[in-house]
Amino acid sequence: MPFSDSFSKKHLVFDGGMGTMLLSAGLPAGASPDVWNITNPDAVRAIHAAHLAAGADVITSNTFGSTVPRQKRGSYKPAELAAAGVRLVKEAIQASGKTAYAALDIGPLGEFLEPLGDLTEEEALDYFREPIEAGVSAGADCILIETMSALDEALVCVKAAKAYGSGLPILCTLTYSPAGRLMTGEPIEAVVSALEEAGVSGHGCNCGVGPEQLVALLPRFVACATKPLIMQPNAGLPVYQDGQTVYLVGPEAFAVEMQQLASGGIWGLGGCCGTTPEHIALLARLAAE
Ligand SMILES: [Zn+2]
């Protein structure tokens, strides 16, 4: 079933946080999670399997940092990491016997484009090209650009996905403050209009805030969007405890807030940092009601 068929569904359940799950599986702080696609594939596959068992319809590859700027000191090429990441998703889906989609995850480069930084648009397009081509060849069903906090970078990434993504549907989610602005200052309304003009199939927000903050921002998204909306909040706002970042909204409270987003018209529902397969399992149950 092509991914485009899913746009006619009332809701699509995305999976939960990968980075925080890998940290609890023993990934050393500061290490590249993407490298585990090659050095510890069982751990990555197990997280995908848990999200499939929880009822997720979309499984996101562990390829957030599979780009040259984020792998400068690594010994693997971004293309190898991206291809391995998509393969692990497909293997987990096949092993589960379920029907689910493999989303190729593309994260921000970690550098600013000109004039804020030194990165040129040509360089950024080239950096995004590598994981996109490799992930699409490995069999991704859609491209999920996520955790973008700068609008210019998100738009360059959409451009790369259109140029090198073999026509796969492009989804793009950005990270907003509780006041509904990107780090670079643009409000929801400006971002939504720029993304829709750029030709994405669906868009919305992920990371940064919890579901409660998104419930407050929901009317603004619904008022200006014409494409399917996706919301993948963290398990609450980050809290610093004993030198660590923790997320304290549990599965039940999370699912209750997510139900408000579902009934308010959000199509794609999932989680980001601090969410677990338990969060997704409850969310999937509520979305099915
Ligand atoms: Zn996150």
- pLDDT tens digits along 26-75: 999 889 999 999 999 999 999 999 999 999 999 999 999 999 999 998 89
Per-residue model confidence (pLDDT) at position 123: 98
Distance in Å, CA 232 to ligand 1 centroid: 8
Distance in Å, CA 60 to ligand 1 centroid: 13
Interatomic CA distance for residues 33 and 62, integer angstroms: 7
Q: Is the pLDDT of residue 289 over 80?
A: no
Distance in Å, CA 84 to ligand 1 centroid: 22
Structure tokens, 63: 């390829």
Distance in Å, CA 234 to ligand 1 centroid: 6
What residues form DSSP beta bridges with 174?
Answer: 148, 205
What's the gap between Cα 38 and its chain centre? 20
Of residues 29 and 163, more confidently modeled? 163
Distance in Å, CA 17 to ligand 1 centroid: 7
Distance in Å, CA 19 to ligand 1 centroid: 8
Interatomic CA distance for residues 219 and 29, integer angstroms: 37
What's the distance, Cα to Cα, between the start and end of the chain in Å? 23
Average pLDDT over residues 206-225: 98
Distance in Å, CA 193 to ligand 1 centroid: 24
Structure confidence by residue, pLDDT tens digits, 255-286:
999 999 999 999 999 999 999 999 999 999 98
Average pLDDT over residues 230-253: 94
Distance in Å, CA 118 to ligand 1 centroid: 26
Average pLDDT over residues 194-205: 98
Distance in Å, CA 65 to ligand 1 centroid: 13
Distance in Å, CA 124 to ligand 1 centroid: 22
Distance in Å, CA 150 to ligand 1 centroid: 15
Q: Is the pLDDT of residue 249 over 80?
A: yes
Distance in Å, CA 10 to ligand 1 centroid: 24
Q: What is the strand order of the sheet 101-106 is part of?
A: 12-13, 268-269, 229-232, 202-206, 170-174, 142-148, 101-106, 58-60
Interatomic CA distance for residues 116 and 124, integer angstroms: 14
Q: Is the pLDDT of residue 7 over 90?
A: yes
Residue ranges near ligand 1 (ion) with Cβ within 5 Å: 207, 272-273
pTM: 0.97
Distance in Å, CA 130 to ligand 1 centroid: 23
Per-residue model confidence (pLDDT) at position 74: 87
Distance in Å, CA 156 to ligand 1 centroid: 21
How would residue 198 be classed by pLDDT, with cut points 50, 70 and 90? very high
Structure confidence by residue, pLDDT tens digits, 8-24:
999 999 999 999 999 99
Q: Is the pLDDT of residue 121 over 80?
A: yes
Find the DSSP H helices in the chain.
19-24, 36-39, 41-54, 78-96, 121-137, 151-164, 188-198, 211-224, 251-263, 277-287
Burial class from Cβ neighbours inside 10 Å (0-12, 13-18, 19+) for residue 220 reads middle
Per-residue model confidence (pLDDT) at position 204: 98
Per-residue model confidence (pLDDT) at position 42: 98
Burial class from Cβ neighbours inside 10 Å (0-12, 13-18, 19+) for residue 276 reads buried
Per-residue model confidence (pLDDT) at position 137: 98
Instruction: Give me the torsion for CA of 32, 34, 40, 45, rounded to 10°.
Output: 140
Per-residue model confidence (pLDDT) at position 285: 94
Distance in Å, CA 174 to ligand 1 centroid: 10
Which CATH architecture does the domain made up of 3-287 adopt? Alpha-Beta Barrel (3.20)
Distance in Å, CA 131 to ligand 1 centroid: 20
- What is the share, in percent, of the chain residues with pLDDT greater than 70? 100
